[in-house]
Amino acid sequence: MAREIQFCLLYRDMWQSSGKYVPRVDQLVRVAQPIIDMGCFTRVETNGGGFEQINLLFGENPNKAVRDWTQPFNDAGIQTQMLERGLNGIRMNPVPADVRRLMFQVKKKQGTDIARSFDGLNDYRNLENSIKFANEAGMISQAALSVTYSKVHTVDYYIELADKLISLGAKEICIKDMAGIGRPVSLGKIVQGIKAAHPDVPVQYHGHSGPGFSVASILEVARAGADIIDVAMEPLSWGTGHADLLTVKEMLKDAVFKVPEVNMQAYMQVRALTQEFIDDFLGEYINSRNRLMNSLLIGPGLPGGMMGSLMADLENNLKSLNKWMQKNNKPQITQDELLIKLFEEVEHIWPMMGYPPLVTPYSQYVKNVALMNVMNMMKGKERWAMIDDNTWDMLLGRVGKLPGPLAPELVELAKAQGREFYEGAPQDLYPDRLPEIKQEMQELGWDFGQDDEELMEFAMHKEQYMAYKSGKAKENFEADLQKRRAAKKAAAQPAATTPAAMPTMPKVLQVEVGGERYTVKVSYGDSNGVADSQAAEEKAPPQVASSSDNGYAEIIAPIEGNFMLTKDSSEKPLAVGDTVNKGDVIGYIEAMKVYNAITADKAGTVADICVANGDHIDEDDVIVKLK
């Protein structure tokens, strides 16, 4: 008798592996019934991961989105599935245990059935509470193995990890091949080993298609005993996303597995609606490169879930870097050149940083350090010149145990900066804070919401939640969207005819061809002449931000991103009149999914805070003036 294989549709991850945003709640509700009508899914991934923050970023209440989006599947008997990050819950940094417990209670009441919990370091201590809290809330606790490929991540390593997680109470195991670089035969051996020891524990496989292994991997894990396969569908399958439902179905059917049939009329309806959402606004945040598979990803092992945001970040970083290069009379580089330099640097530093599995948030940490290294070395600075606090927490053991040893030069750098290594249980460093958070919310006059869901959101994503409540998030999103649409429209306009009497002055143009942006110098008439104004602009010295003409000392932004006065509700924000010592943290720049601490390079009294909390700032912008 043929063994049955079930399918889970990754409708959340499809979007986040392709671009920055997910559909609005009204769009999600529209597509729910056609997904149900397809008749082939026992599970749908509805929320979790970055879903909450993304809703807040474009000014939508994520709690309403989760409730309205999961309800149709609940009614149809299709299980809903979320992704959570263990110690980090559904944010990028550690969460107090009482807030984590509240999250599971809220998510179950909102209609989420399955909690897929992973730890980016595969430290079982960080998943113990996730398993416990999910079971307490009445959810199905699914513990994930974060799969990567290195000399320390062996088949036996993963089988032993699964044993430990099941002993802690996990009801299911997920093989989370987040970068798609797990080798098919090895993945099959992992599943086979788990099933040999735990034949009744369901195993679900999640693999990204980017490097090209995923279809072979799906066949191997199915033959080894996997029960459920995560799939995507057009127009968001393949690329940095996941293998396509139709391909996987036909392959497994040919391999004599029992698989569900697909209602193709409903399939085409879901496909059309998804394309409609792309055309509405989501396509403005999907880089065309993310729709392509790329075997270059085998080397750096960067995950598909991160590539969507990476390409968007890279555009900003490239602009900032080339601005600096132009100021300093150095040749500008293309996005391709920056991408390859980044990939090479990730490969170089990953072993030095202890082989953390490249999954959120640790993939971002390694990638961010690699990108900072590349940009700083291109500016003549040394490697490791900028490591954010979140990354230091990982390196020091404050968020879990690294799979491999740190390079001696990083150990020495930590000692030189007075940083201490930690070997205790990570959760102990992040004590309960819910009573304080409740008090803060009450002082703001805000309601805790149905089933304390607004309290959970505020506790989990304070800064983003406040920007949502104030309307600033929606305002910023709409302004950014209009800017992108205007740039796209301008790029599509035919070039105007140049009048014969136009001065013979060369100009620098930004031209977009096939999704690629190029810097082109165009001269009219006398091509040997360079306008004084342009020459002055190109040869202008780099901005010096140690002081200003009015006698105030200035602290400038070292990178581009969103400025935040605090990253946690326990911190006191900087205020005018405060005394600042050299080395003090004066705020944070949220860039590439991490908070980069900005420290004062001089001492003084705060005379002015030049940017508002949540403002987008560029590299070299003045943040604070001191007197």
Q: Give per-residue pLDDT as tens, 257-272.
A: 999 999 999 999 999 9
Whole-number average pLDDT of the chain: 88
β-pair partners for 13: none
Over residues 206-227, the mean pLDDT reads: 96
SS3 label, residue 244: strand
pLDDT at residue 551, rounded to an integer: 74
CB 332 within 8 A of CB 325: yes
**Is residue 309 predicted with pLDDT exceeding 70?**
no
Structure-block tokens of residue 244: 């396509």
Domain edge (last residue) among 406, 429, 452: 429
Residue in this structure with the two tokens 């969507």, named with its chain if needed:
308
pLDDT at residue 539, rounded to an integer: 37
**Is residue 377 predicted with pLDDT exceeding 60?**
yes
Report the domain count for the chain: 3
Do 512 and 561 lie in a common domain? no
Domain edge (last residue) among 379, 411, 429: 429
Question: Cα(273)–Cα(23) distance, rounded to whole angstroms?
Answer: 11
Over residues 318-329, the mean pLDDT reads: 86
Do 412 and 319 lie in a common domain? yes
Contacts of residue 108, defined as CB under 8 A and 6 or more positions apart, other chains included, come to 137, 138, 139
More confident of the two residues 512 and 363 = 363
Over residues 298-309, the mean pLDDT reads: 70
Identify whether 123 is part of a domain.
Answer: no
Question: Cα(591)–Cα(322) distance, rounded to whole angstroms?
Answer: 18
Question: Cα(369)–Cα(255) distance, rounded to whole angstroms?
Answer: 44
Do 365 and 395 lie in a common domain? yes
Q: At what angle do helices 124-137 and 97-110 cross, to 10 degrees?
A: 40
Identify whether 467 is part of a domain.
Answer: no
- Residue type (1 letter), 32: A
pLDDT at residue 523, rounded to an integer: 46
Contacts of residue 379, defined as CB under 8 A and 6 or more positions apart, other chains included, come to 324, 328
Do 418 and 335 lie in a common domain? yes
Structure-block tokens of residue 611: 């940017």
Question: What are the tens digits of pLDDT across the range 228-249?
Answer: 999 999 999 999 899 999 999 9
User: Please, how many CA atoms are within 13 Å of residue 178, restricted to the half-sphere of its CB?
Assistant: 27
pLDDT at residue 289, rounded to an integer: 80
Structure-block tokens of residue 162: 């699964």
Start-to-end CA span in the chain (Å): 80
Do 417 and 330 lie in a common domain? yes
Identify whether 210 is part of a domain.
Answer: no
Do 414 and 337 lie in a common domain? yes
**Is residue 173 predicted with pLDDT exceeding 80?**
yes
Strands 6-9 and 41-48: parallel
Do 597 and 498 lie in a common domain? no
DSSP string, 83-111: EE-GGGTTSSS---HHHHHHHHHHHHHHT
Identify whether 236 is part of a domain.
Answer: no
Ramachandran quadrant class, 258 (left: phi over 0; alpha: psi -120 to 50; beta: rest): beta
More confident of the two residues 341 and 524 = 341
DSSP label of 242: B
Question: Cα(195)–Cα(201) distance, rounded to whole angstroms?
Answer: 7
Domain edge (last residue) among 389, 408, 429: 429
Identify whether 68 is part of a domain.
Answer: no
pLDDT at residue 594, rounded to an integer: 66
CB 81 within 8 A of CB 46: yes
Do 375 and 425 lie in a common domain? yes
More confident of the two residues 467 and 388 = 467
Q: At what angle do helices 362-378 and 389-396 cross, to 10 degrees?
A: 120
Identify whether 81 is part of a domain.
Answer: no
**Is residue 506 predicted with pLDDT exceeding 70?**
no
**Is residue 513 predicted with pLDDT exceeding 60?**
no
Do 334 and 403 lie in a common domain? yes
Do 312 and 396 lie in a common domain? yes
Do 321 and 416 lie in a common domain? yes
Answering whether pTM is above 0.85, one says no
Ranges 187-196, 317-326, 524-533, most confident:
187-196
Question: Cα(349)–Cα(358) distance, rounded to whole angstroms?
Answer: 12
Question: What are the tens digits of pLDDT across the range 391-442?
Answer: 999 999 999 999 999 999 999 999 999 999 999 999 999 999 999 999 999 9
Identify whether 331 is part of a domain.
Answer: yes
CATH number at residue 615: 2.40.50.100
Residue in this structure with the two tokens 């879901």, named with its chain if needed:
270
Identify whether 607 is part of a domain.
Answer: yes
Do 402 and 312 lie in a common domain? yes
Question: Cα(241)–Cα(279) distance, rounded to whole angstroms?
Answer: 19
* Structural domain that includes position 356: 299-429
CA 119 vs CA 88, 151, 386: distances in Å: 8, 19, 25
Question: Cα(309)–Cα(53) distance, rounded to whole angstroms?
Answer: 13
